[in-house]
Homo-oligomer: A and B are copies of this chain.
Amino acid sequence: MKEQEFLTELKEMDMLQQALGILEWDTQTGMPEEASDYRGEVSSYLYGQYFAKKVGPKMTEAIDYFSQHPKELSEVGKAALSLVKEEYDREQAVPNALMVEYSKATSDAHHAWQKARKEKDFSLFQEALQENIRLTKELISYWKKEEKTDYDVLLNIYEPNMTTEVLDDVFSTVREGIIALRQKIVEEGVNPRTDFLNRKMSESQQRQFIIKVVQDLGFDLNRGRVDDTTHPFATGINHRDVRLTNRWNETDLTMGIMGLIHEAGHGVYEQNIAEKFENTPVHEGASMGIHESQSLFNELVIASRKSFWQRQYPYLQECAQGTFDDISFEDFYASLKQTQASLIRIEADSLTYILHIIIRYEIEKMIFNEEVAVEELPRIWNDKYEKYLGIRPKDDLEGILQDVHWSAAEFGYFPSYALGYMYACQLYYAMKKDIDVDEVLSSQDYTPIRQWLTQNIHQYGASKKPYQLIYDATGEKLNPQYLLDYLQEIYFAVYQINE
Protein backbone atom coordinates (compact mmCIF):
# COMPACT_ATOMS: atom_id res chain seq x y z
CA MET A 1 0.00 0.00 0.00
CA LYS A 2 1.14 3.52 -0.80
CA GLU A 3 0.91 6.30 1.77
CA GLN A 4 -1.15 8.36 -0.66
CA GLU A 5 -3.88 5.72 -0.65
CA PHE A 6 -4.02 5.86 3.13
CA LEU A 7 -4.11 9.68 3.11
CA THR A 8 -6.85 9.71 0.47
CA GLU A 9 -9.00 7.48 2.64
CA LEU A 10 -8.41 9.81 5.58
CA LYS A 11 -9.30 12.77 3.41
CA GLU A 12 -12.59 11.21 2.37
CA MET A 13 -13.39 10.60 6.02
CA ASP A 14 -12.49 14.20 6.77
CA MET A 15 -14.71 15.51 3.98
CA LEU A 16 -17.63 13.53 5.41
CA GLN A 17 -16.83 15.07 8.78
CA GLN A 18 -16.74 18.54 7.26
CA ALA A 19 -20.21 17.98 5.82
CA LEU A 20 -21.43 16.56 9.13
CA GLY A 21 -19.92 19.58 10.90
CA ILE A 22 -21.86 22.02 8.75
CA LEU A 23 -25.08 20.03 9.18
CA GLU A 24 -24.63 20.04 12.96
CA TRP A 25 -23.78 23.75 13.01
CA ASP A 26 -26.89 24.41 10.92
CA THR A 27 -29.05 22.27 13.21
CA GLN A 28 -27.88 24.31 16.20
CA THR A 29 -28.04 27.75 14.63
CA GLY A 30 -31.18 28.02 12.59
CA MET A 31 -32.59 24.96 10.86
CA PRO A 32 -36.40 25.07 10.98
CA GLU A 33 -37.27 22.88 13.93
CA GLU A 34 -39.88 20.89 12.02
CA ALA A 35 -37.13 19.57 9.77
CA SER A 36 -35.31 17.77 12.57
CA ASP A 37 -36.43 14.26 11.55
CA TYR A 38 -35.16 14.77 8.02
CA ARG A 39 -31.90 16.23 9.30
CA GLY A 40 -31.46 13.29 11.69
CA GLU A 41 -31.74 10.86 8.78
CA VAL A 42 -29.24 12.75 6.63
CA SER A 43 -26.67 13.03 9.41
CA SER A 44 -27.05 9.36 10.36
CA TYR A 45 -26.56 8.39 6.75
CA LEU A 46 -23.35 10.38 6.35
CA TYR A 47 -22.10 9.29 9.76
CA GLY A 48 -22.71 5.69 8.74
CA GLN A 49 -20.46 6.22 5.73
CA TYR A 50 -17.81 7.82 7.90
CA PHE A 51 -17.92 4.99 10.43
CA ALA A 52 -17.82 2.32 7.76
CA LYS A 53 -14.55 3.79 6.54
CA LYS A 54 -13.15 4.15 10.05
CA VAL A 55 -13.31 0.40 10.63
CA GLY A 56 -13.39 -0.64 6.97
CA PRO A 57 -11.13 -2.89 4.90
CA LYS A 58 -8.94 -0.04 3.63
CA MET A 59 -8.20 1.11 7.17
CA THR A 60 -7.48 -2.47 8.25
CA GLU A 61 -5.07 -2.85 5.38
CA ALA A 62 -3.35 0.47 6.09
CA ILE A 63 -2.90 -0.30 9.77
CA ASP A 64 -1.54 -3.75 9.05
CA TYR A 65 0.81 -2.60 6.34
CA PHE A 66 2.21 0.56 7.89
CA SER A 67 2.59 -0.96 11.35
CA GLN A 68 5.09 -3.22 9.63
CA HIS A 69 6.53 -0.55 7.33
CA PRO A 70 6.56 2.62 9.44
CA LYS A 71 9.46 4.07 7.45
CA GLU A 72 7.25 4.41 4.38
CA LEU A 73 5.20 7.05 6.15
CA SER A 74 5.87 10.80 6.25
CA GLU A 75 5.70 12.69 9.54
CA VAL A 76 2.02 13.48 8.93
CA GLY A 77 1.23 9.90 7.93
CA LYS A 78 2.95 8.59 11.04
CA ALA A 79 1.04 10.87 13.39
CA ALA A 80 -2.24 10.01 11.64
CA LEU A 81 -1.61 6.28 11.74
CA SER A 82 -1.01 6.36 15.45
CA LEU A 83 -4.31 8.18 16.12
CA VAL A 84 -6.27 6.04 13.70
CA LYS A 85 -4.94 2.86 15.21
CA GLU A 86 -5.98 3.85 18.75
CA GLU A 87 -9.57 4.42 17.68
CA TYR A 88 -9.59 1.40 15.40
CA ASP A 89 -8.46 -0.88 18.22
CA ARG A 90 -11.12 0.53 20.48
CA GLU A 91 -13.88 0.17 17.88
CA GLN A 92 -12.84 -3.30 16.75
CA ALA A 93 -12.79 -4.63 20.29
CA VAL A 94 -16.51 -4.09 20.77
CA PRO A 95 -19.18 -6.41 19.34
CA ASN A 96 -21.55 -4.60 16.98
CA ALA A 97 -24.61 -5.77 18.95
CA LEU A 98 -23.32 -3.98 22.03
CA MET A 99 -22.83 -0.72 20.11
CA VAL A 100 -26.38 -0.95 18.80
CA GLU A 101 -27.68 -1.55 22.30
CA TYR A 102 -25.56 1.33 23.60
CA SER A 103 -26.79 3.70 20.92
CA LYS A 104 -30.42 2.82 21.71
CA ALA A 105 -29.83 3.17 25.45
CA THR A 106 -28.28 6.64 25.21
CA SER A 107 -31.08 7.79 22.95
CA ASP A 108 -33.68 6.51 25.44
CA ALA A 109 -31.72 7.99 28.33
CA HIS A 110 -31.72 11.41 26.71
CA HIS A 111 -35.51 11.35 26.56
CA ALA A 112 -35.79 10.04 30.15
CA TRP A 113 -33.44 12.83 31.27
CA GLN A 114 -35.55 15.48 29.55
CA LYS A 115 -38.69 14.08 31.17
CA ALA A 116 -37.04 13.86 34.59
CA ARG A 117 -35.94 17.51 34.26
CA LYS A 118 -39.47 18.57 33.47
CA GLU A 119 -40.69 16.81 36.64
CA LYS A 120 -37.55 17.74 38.62
CA ASP A 121 -37.46 14.10 39.63
CA PHE A 122 -34.30 12.01 39.36
CA SER A 123 -36.23 8.74 39.85
CA LEU A 124 -37.62 9.13 36.31
CA PHE A 125 -34.03 9.08 34.97
CA GLN A 126 -32.65 6.49 37.36
CA GLU A 127 -33.39 3.37 35.35
CA ALA A 128 -32.00 4.81 32.11
CA LEU A 129 -28.87 6.02 33.90
CA GLN A 130 -28.43 2.57 35.41
CA GLU A 131 -28.58 1.12 31.91
CA ASN A 132 -26.04 3.65 30.57
CA ILE A 133 -23.72 2.69 33.41
CA ARG A 134 -24.21 -1.03 32.86
CA LEU A 135 -23.43 -0.75 29.15
CA THR A 136 -20.45 1.52 29.75
CA LYS A 137 -19.07 -1.04 32.20
CA GLU A 138 -19.53 -3.68 29.53
CA LEU A 139 -17.65 -1.47 27.04
CA ILE A 140 -14.88 -0.98 29.58
CA SER A 141 -14.45 -4.75 29.81
CA TYR A 142 -13.64 -4.77 26.08
CA TRP A 143 -11.52 -1.63 26.13
CA LYS A 144 -9.49 -2.22 29.27
CA LYS A 145 -5.79 -2.91 28.74
CA GLU A 146 -3.19 -1.95 31.30
CA GLU A 147 -5.30 0.72 33.04
CA LYS A 148 -5.40 0.25 36.80
CA THR A 149 -9.09 0.97 37.34
CA ASP A 150 -12.24 0.92 35.26
CA TYR A 151 -12.65 4.67 35.52
CA ASP A 152 -9.13 5.15 34.19
CA VAL A 153 -10.33 3.59 30.95
CA LEU A 154 -12.94 6.33 30.59
CA LEU A 155 -10.55 9.16 31.52
CA ASN A 156 -8.21 7.90 28.84
CA ILE A 157 -10.77 8.41 26.09
CA TYR A 158 -10.96 12.16 26.66
CA GLU A 159 -7.47 12.76 28.07
CA PRO A 160 -4.89 10.22 26.93
CA ASN A 161 -2.76 8.79 29.78
CA MET A 162 -4.72 10.52 32.51
CA THR A 163 -5.30 8.39 35.63
CA THR A 164 -7.29 8.55 38.83
CA GLU A 165 -3.97 8.33 40.66
CA VAL A 166 -2.87 11.66 39.19
CA LEU A 167 -6.30 13.27 39.44
CA ASP A 168 -6.91 12.22 43.05
CA ASP A 169 -3.72 13.93 44.01
CA VAL A 170 -4.19 17.03 41.89
CA PHE A 171 -7.85 17.47 42.78
CA SER A 172 -7.24 17.15 46.49
CA THR A 173 -4.65 19.95 46.29
CA VAL A 174 -7.00 22.10 44.25
CA ARG A 175 -10.01 21.38 46.44
CA GLU A 176 -8.22 22.26 49.67
CA GLY A 177 -6.64 25.29 48.07
CA ILE A 178 -9.87 26.72 46.73
CA ILE A 179 -11.75 26.07 49.93
CA ALA A 180 -9.02 27.95 51.80
CA LEU A 181 -9.13 30.86 49.32
CA ARG A 182 -12.90 31.04 49.59
CA GLN A 183 -12.77 31.05 53.36
CA LYS A 184 -10.36 33.95 53.38
CA ILE A 185 -12.48 35.86 50.87
CA VAL A 186 -15.64 35.32 52.88
CA GLU A 187 -13.97 36.30 56.13
CA GLU A 188 -11.75 39.18 55.05
CA GLY A 189 -12.84 40.23 51.57
CA VAL A 190 -14.53 43.48 50.56
CA ASN A 191 -17.33 42.59 48.17
CA PRO A 192 -17.16 44.37 44.82
CA ARG A 193 -20.07 46.45 43.65
CA THR A 194 -22.15 44.53 41.08
CA ASP A 195 -25.50 46.36 40.97
CA PHE A 196 -24.85 47.84 37.51
CA LEU A 197 -24.14 44.55 35.78
CA ASN A 198 -27.79 44.02 34.91
CA ARG A 199 -28.12 47.35 33.16
CA LYS A 200 -29.44 46.85 29.65
CA MET A 201 -26.88 46.62 26.88
CA SER A 202 -28.56 45.63 23.63
CA GLU A 203 -27.57 42.56 21.70
CA SER A 204 -26.17 44.64 18.87
CA GLN A 205 -24.17 46.83 21.28
CA GLN A 206 -22.71 43.74 22.93
CA ARG A 207 -22.01 42.22 19.55
CA GLN A 208 -20.19 45.32 18.33
CA PHE A 209 -17.94 45.21 21.40
CA ILE A 210 -17.20 41.52 21.57
CA ILE A 211 -16.63 40.97 17.86
CA LYS A 212 -13.77 43.46 18.04
CA VAL A 213 -12.41 41.85 21.21
CA VAL A 214 -12.29 38.33 19.77
CA GLN A 215 -10.49 39.72 16.74
CA ASP A 216 -7.99 41.38 19.07
CA LEU A 217 -7.58 37.96 20.67
CA GLY A 218 -6.60 36.53 17.31
CA PHE A 219 -9.84 35.09 15.95
CA ASP A 220 -9.72 35.64 12.20
CA LEU A 221 -13.15 36.51 10.83
CA ASN A 222 -11.93 36.01 7.27
CA ARG A 223 -11.63 32.36 8.19
CA GLY A 224 -14.55 32.15 10.57
CA ARG A 225 -17.91 33.49 11.61
CA VAL A 226 -20.08 34.07 14.65
CA ASP A 227 -23.70 32.96 14.96
CA ASP A 228 -26.43 32.71 17.57
CA THR A 229 -27.47 29.50 19.28
CA THR A 230 -29.02 28.18 22.49
CA HIS A 231 -25.98 26.26 23.71
CA PRO A 232 -22.76 28.01 22.65
CA PHE A 233 -20.03 26.00 20.97
CA ALA A 234 -17.13 26.37 18.56
CA THR A 235 -16.62 24.11 15.56
CA GLY A 236 -13.68 23.85 13.22
CA ILE A 237 -14.96 22.68 9.85
CA ASN A 238 -11.45 23.18 8.52
CA HIS A 239 -8.75 25.70 9.44
CA ARG A 240 -10.22 28.29 7.10
CA ASP A 241 -13.77 27.85 8.33
CA VAL A 242 -14.09 28.01 12.09
CA ARG A 243 -17.43 28.93 13.60
CA LEU A 244 -18.22 30.33 17.01
CA THR A 245 -21.74 30.47 18.37
CA ASN A 246 -23.06 32.55 21.21
CA ARG A 247 -26.13 33.46 23.21
CA TRP A 248 -26.99 36.88 24.54
CA ASN A 249 -28.70 38.33 27.55
CA GLU A 250 -29.42 42.04 27.28
CA THR A 251 -29.56 42.45 31.05
CA ASP A 252 -26.49 40.33 31.78
CA LEU A 253 -23.72 41.39 29.47
CA THR A 254 -21.21 39.00 31.04
CA MET A 255 -23.03 35.99 29.57
CA GLY A 256 -22.52 36.96 25.95
CA ILE A 257 -19.15 38.60 26.43
CA MET A 258 -17.47 35.92 28.53
CA GLY A 259 -19.18 33.24 26.43
CA LEU A 260 -17.68 34.47 23.18
CA ILE A 261 -14.26 35.14 24.70
CA HIS A 262 -14.32 31.48 25.78
CA GLU A 263 -15.43 30.10 22.39
CA ALA A 264 -12.87 32.29 20.62
CA GLY A 265 -10.13 30.39 22.46
CA HIS A 266 -11.38 27.17 20.90
CA GLY A 267 -11.67 28.94 17.57
CA VAL A 268 -8.16 30.39 17.53
CA TYR A 269 -6.81 26.90 18.32
CA GLU A 270 -8.67 25.40 15.34
CA GLN A 271 -7.54 28.20 13.05
CA ASN A 272 -3.87 27.72 13.89
CA ILE A 273 -3.26 23.99 13.72
CA ALA A 274 -0.50 23.45 11.15
CA GLU A 275 -1.95 23.27 7.66
CA LYS A 276 0.11 20.17 6.85
CA PHE A 277 -2.16 18.14 9.15
CA GLU A 278 -5.36 19.21 7.33
CA ASN A 279 -7.62 16.37 6.12
CA THR A 280 -6.24 13.94 8.72
CA PRO A 281 -7.29 13.23 12.32
CA VAL A 282 -4.10 15.03 13.43
CA HIS A 283 -5.84 18.30 12.46
CA GLU A 284 -7.77 18.34 15.73
CA GLY A 285 -7.19 19.42 19.28
CA ALA A 286 -4.83 17.22 21.31
CA SER A 287 -7.59 16.39 23.80
CA MET A 288 -10.70 17.84 25.38
CA GLY A 289 -8.55 19.11 28.24
CA ILE A 290 -6.09 20.88 25.94
CA HIS A 291 -8.96 22.36 23.94
CA GLU A 292 -10.49 23.70 27.15
CA SER A 293 -7.09 25.08 28.16
CA GLN A 294 -7.28 27.38 25.14
CA SER A 295 -10.83 28.60 25.75
CA LEU A 296 -10.02 29.02 29.44
CA PHE A 297 -6.77 30.80 28.68
CA ASN A 298 -9.00 33.46 27.14
CA GLU A 299 -11.76 33.35 29.71
CA LEU A 300 -9.84 32.73 32.92
CA VAL A 301 -6.36 34.10 32.27
CA ILE A 302 -6.82 36.99 29.83
CA ALA A 303 -10.30 38.08 30.86
CA SER A 304 -9.30 38.15 34.54
CA ARG A 305 -6.46 40.59 33.97
CA LYS A 306 -6.79 44.21 34.84
CA SER A 307 -4.49 45.17 31.99
CA PHE A 308 -6.86 43.56 29.51
CA TRP A 309 -9.95 45.35 30.77
CA GLN A 310 -8.13 48.63 31.18
CA ARG A 311 -7.67 48.73 27.45
CA GLN A 312 -11.05 47.24 26.52
CA TYR A 313 -13.35 49.02 28.97
CA PRO A 314 -13.38 52.40 27.19
CA TYR A 315 -14.52 50.63 24.02
CA LEU A 316 -17.19 48.76 25.98
CA GLN A 317 -18.39 52.10 27.35
CA GLU A 318 -18.45 53.49 23.83
CA CYS A 319 -20.45 50.53 22.49
CA ALA A 320 -22.88 50.78 25.42
CA GLN A 321 -23.58 54.39 24.38
CA GLY A 322 -23.59 55.97 27.81
CA THR A 323 -24.98 53.13 29.91
CA PHE A 324 -21.76 52.62 31.85
CA ASP A 325 -20.36 56.16 31.70
CA ASP A 326 -20.85 56.62 35.45
CA ILE A 327 -19.09 53.35 36.32
CA SER A 328 -15.37 53.65 37.03
CA PHE A 329 -12.96 51.21 35.51
CA GLU A 330 -12.04 49.88 38.97
CA ASP A 331 -15.68 49.15 39.79
CA PHE A 332 -16.37 47.57 36.42
CA TYR A 333 -13.33 45.32 36.55
CA ALA A 334 -14.00 44.19 40.11
CA SER A 335 -17.62 43.34 39.30
CA LEU A 336 -16.49 40.80 36.72
CA LYS A 337 -14.60 38.83 39.36
CA GLN A 338 -17.23 38.56 42.03
CA THR A 339 -17.41 35.03 43.44
CA GLN A 340 -20.24 33.24 45.12
CA ALA A 341 -21.17 29.63 45.74
CA SER A 342 -23.85 28.51 43.27
CA LEU A 343 -25.62 25.33 42.28
CA ILE A 344 -25.45 25.35 38.50
CA ARG A 345 -22.10 24.45 36.98
CA ILE A 346 -22.39 26.43 33.76
CA GLU A 347 -23.29 29.58 35.70
CA ALA A 348 -20.45 29.21 38.22
CA ASP A 349 -17.66 31.79 38.50
CA SER A 350 -14.04 30.92 37.85
CA LEU A 351 -13.14 30.41 41.51
CA THR A 352 -15.91 27.94 42.35
CA TYR A 353 -16.29 26.23 38.97
CA ILE A 354 -13.68 23.61 39.56
CA LEU A 355 -15.43 22.43 42.75
CA HIS A 356 -18.44 21.53 40.60
CA ILE A 357 -16.13 19.39 38.48
CA ILE A 358 -14.48 17.71 41.44
CA ILE A 359 -17.91 16.70 42.75
CA ARG A 360 -18.76 15.05 39.44
CA TYR A 361 -15.36 13.38 39.26
CA GLU A 362 -15.73 11.91 42.70
CA ILE A 363 -19.20 10.59 41.93
CA GLU A 364 -18.17 9.08 38.60
CA LYS A 365 -15.25 7.37 40.28
CA MET A 366 -17.63 5.89 42.84
CA ILE A 367 -19.92 4.67 40.10
CA PHE A 368 -17.21 2.87 38.17
CA ASN A 369 -14.61 1.87 40.74
CA GLU A 370 -16.74 1.20 43.78
CA GLU A 371 -20.15 -0.04 44.60
CA VAL A 372 -22.76 2.61 44.75
CA ALA A 373 -26.48 2.27 44.14
CA VAL A 374 -27.78 4.67 41.51
CA GLU A 375 -30.68 5.70 43.72
CA GLU A 376 -28.21 7.02 46.27
CA LEU A 377 -26.61 9.43 43.82
CA PRO A 378 -28.89 12.45 44.40
CA ARG A 379 -28.18 12.32 48.14
CA ILE A 380 -24.45 11.95 47.54
CA TRP A 381 -24.57 14.82 45.05
CA ASN A 382 -26.41 17.10 47.44
CA ASP A 383 -24.17 16.20 50.38
CA LYS A 384 -21.07 17.04 48.38
CA TYR A 385 -22.49 20.42 47.33
CA GLU A 386 -23.22 21.15 50.95
CA LYS A 387 -19.79 20.05 52.06
CA TYR A 388 -17.69 21.81 49.39
CA LEU A 389 -19.81 24.82 48.52
CA GLY A 390 -21.99 25.22 51.56
CA ILE A 391 -25.26 25.13 49.65
CA ARG A 392 -27.73 22.33 48.99
CA PRO A 393 -29.90 21.89 45.89
CA LYS A 394 -33.59 22.15 46.70
CA ASP A 395 -34.54 19.77 43.89
CA ASP A 396 -32.91 17.44 41.34
CA LEU A 397 -33.17 19.96 38.51
CA GLU A 398 -30.72 22.28 40.22
CA GLY A 399 -28.83 19.21 41.40
CA ILE A 400 -27.99 15.98 39.69
CA LEU A 401 -30.22 16.51 36.65
CA GLN A 402 -28.47 19.70 35.48
CA ASP A 403 -25.93 18.19 33.05
CA VAL A 404 -26.65 16.42 29.77
CA HIS A 405 -23.45 14.34 29.91
CA TRP A 406 -24.61 11.25 31.79
CA SER A 407 -27.69 10.91 29.60
CA ALA A 408 -25.25 10.58 26.69
CA ALA A 409 -23.10 8.16 28.72
CA GLU A 410 -20.24 10.67 28.54
CA PHE A 411 -18.61 9.49 31.74
CA GLY A 412 -15.03 10.65 32.22
CA TYR A 413 -15.55 13.87 30.27
CA PHE A 414 -16.01 16.30 33.19
CA PRO A 415 -12.37 16.27 34.40
CA SER A 416 -11.37 17.81 31.05
CA TYR A 417 -12.89 21.10 32.15
CA ALA A 418 -10.76 21.10 35.30
CA LEU A 419 -7.66 20.11 33.37
CA GLY A 420 -8.34 23.04 31.08
CA TYR A 421 -8.27 25.41 34.08
CA MET A 422 -4.98 24.00 35.33
CA TYR A 423 -3.27 23.83 31.95
CA ALA A 424 -4.35 27.41 31.17
CA CYS A 425 -2.71 28.80 34.30
CA GLN A 426 0.39 26.67 33.92
CA LEU A 427 0.76 27.95 30.35
CA TYR A 428 0.34 31.52 31.58
CA TYR A 429 3.25 31.28 34.01
CA ALA A 430 5.42 29.71 31.31
CA MET A 431 4.40 32.42 28.82
CA LYS A 432 5.38 35.10 31.33
CA LYS A 433 8.96 33.92 31.14
CA ASP A 434 9.01 34.88 27.42
CA ILE A 435 6.54 37.77 27.25
CA ASP A 436 5.42 40.62 29.43
CA VAL A 437 1.78 39.65 29.17
CA ASP A 438 0.37 42.75 30.84
CA GLU A 439 2.43 44.98 28.59
CA VAL A 440 1.06 43.17 25.54
CA LEU A 441 -2.50 43.43 26.87
CA SER A 442 -2.00 47.16 27.39
CA SER A 443 -0.90 47.57 23.78
CA GLN A 444 -2.89 47.67 20.54
CA ASP A 445 -1.52 44.35 19.36
CA TYR A 446 -2.06 41.05 21.15
CA THR A 447 -0.25 39.05 18.49
CA PRO A 448 2.69 37.96 20.70
CA ILE A 449 0.28 36.08 23.00
CA ARG A 450 -1.49 34.32 20.14
CA GLN A 451 1.85 33.50 18.54
CA TRP A 452 3.22 31.99 21.76
CA LEU A 453 0.16 29.74 22.02
CA THR A 454 0.37 28.78 18.36
CA GLN A 455 4.03 27.96 18.68
CA ASN A 456 3.65 25.94 21.87
CA ILE A 457 0.18 24.42 21.52
CA HIS A 458 -1.97 25.15 18.47
CA GLN A 459 0.35 24.15 15.66
CA TYR A 460 0.82 20.59 16.88
CA GLY A 461 -2.84 19.61 16.63
CA ALA A 462 -3.18 16.05 17.90
CA SER A 463 0.39 15.12 16.93
CA LYS A 464 1.54 15.38 20.55
CA LYS A 465 -0.16 13.87 23.57
CA PRO A 466 -1.45 16.33 26.22
CA TYR A 467 1.21 15.55 28.80
CA GLN A 468 3.94 16.01 26.18
CA LEU A 469 2.49 19.31 24.97
CA ILE A 470 2.30 20.65 28.49
CA TYR A 471 5.76 19.39 29.39
CA ASP A 472 7.34 20.84 26.26
CA ALA A 473 5.54 24.17 26.65
CA THR A 474 6.09 24.69 30.37
CA GLY A 475 9.07 22.53 31.32
CA GLU A 476 7.15 20.45 33.83
CA LYS A 477 4.23 18.08 34.15
CA LEU A 478 0.75 19.10 35.27
CA ASN A 479 1.13 21.23 38.39
CA PRO A 480 -2.08 22.47 40.05
CA GLN A 481 -0.29 25.08 42.11
CA TYR A 482 -0.32 27.53 39.18
CA LEU A 483 -4.09 27.56 39.17
CA LEU A 484 -4.20 28.27 42.90
CA ASP A 485 -1.57 31.00 42.56
CA TYR A 486 -3.45 32.64 39.74
CA LEU A 487 -6.81 32.52 41.47
CA GLN A 488 -5.25 33.98 44.60
CA GLU A 489 -3.57 36.80 42.68
CA ILE A 490 -6.79 37.80 40.92
CA TYR A 491 -9.35 37.32 43.67
CA PHE A 492 -7.32 38.71 46.54
CA ALA A 493 -6.70 41.86 44.55
CA VAL A 494 -10.38 42.26 43.73
CA TYR A 495 -11.49 41.48 47.28
CA GLN A 496 -8.75 43.73 48.68
CA ILE A 497 -6.99 41.07 50.72
CA ASN A 498 -3.34 41.68 51.48
CA GLU A 499 -1.31 38.55 51.79
Residues of chain A having any CB pair with chain B under 8 Å: 12, 15, 18-19, 22-23, 26, 30-35, 37-39, 41-42, 45-46, 221-225, 237-238, 240-241
Contact = CB atoms under 8 A, between A and B. Distances in A.
Given A38-B238, A238-B35, A225 B15 contact: no
Contacts of A12: 45
Given A35-B237, A238-B35, A240-B32, A15 B223 contact: no
Contacts of A19: 19, 23, 42, 46
Contacts of A22: 22-23, 26
A30 B12 CA distance: 24
Nearest to A36: B240
B32 A222 contact: yes
Contact of A34 (B33, B42, B222): B222
17 contacts: A12-B45, A18-B38, A19-B19, A19-B42, A19-B46, A22-B22, A30-B225, A31-B225, A31-B241, A32-B221, A32-B225, A34-B241, A35-B238, A35-B240, A37-B240, A38-B237, A39-B241
A30 B35 CA distance: 21
Given A26-B26, A32-B225, A32-B241, 17 more contacts: A15-B41, A15-B42, A19-B19, A19-B23, A19-B46, A22-B23, A32-B222, A32-B223, A32-B224, A32-B240, A34-B223, A34-B241, A35-B238, A35-B240, A37-B240, A38-B241, A39-B241
Nearest to A27: B22
A202 to B, nearest CB: 13
Stoichiometry (number of copies): 2
B240 A38 contact: yes
Nearest to A222: B34
A221 B31 CA distance: 10
Contacts of A31: 225, 241
A240 B26 CA distance: 14
Nearest to A45: B15
Contacts of A42: 15, 18-19
Contacts of A15: 41-42, 45-46
A42 B278 CA distance: 13
Contacts of A37: 240
A35 B18 CA distance: 11
Given A22-B23, A41-B15, A223 B35 contact: yes
A224 B34 CA distance: 9
A69 B25 CA distance: 44
A58 to B, nearest CB: 15
A222 B31 CA distance: 9
Contacts of A26: 22, 26
Nearest to A17: B42
Contacts of A221: 32
Contacts of A35: 223, 237-238, 240-241
A39 B237 CA distance: 10
A19 B417 CA distance: 32
A482 B221 CA distance: 51
Contacts of A18: 38, 42
Contacts of A222: 32-34
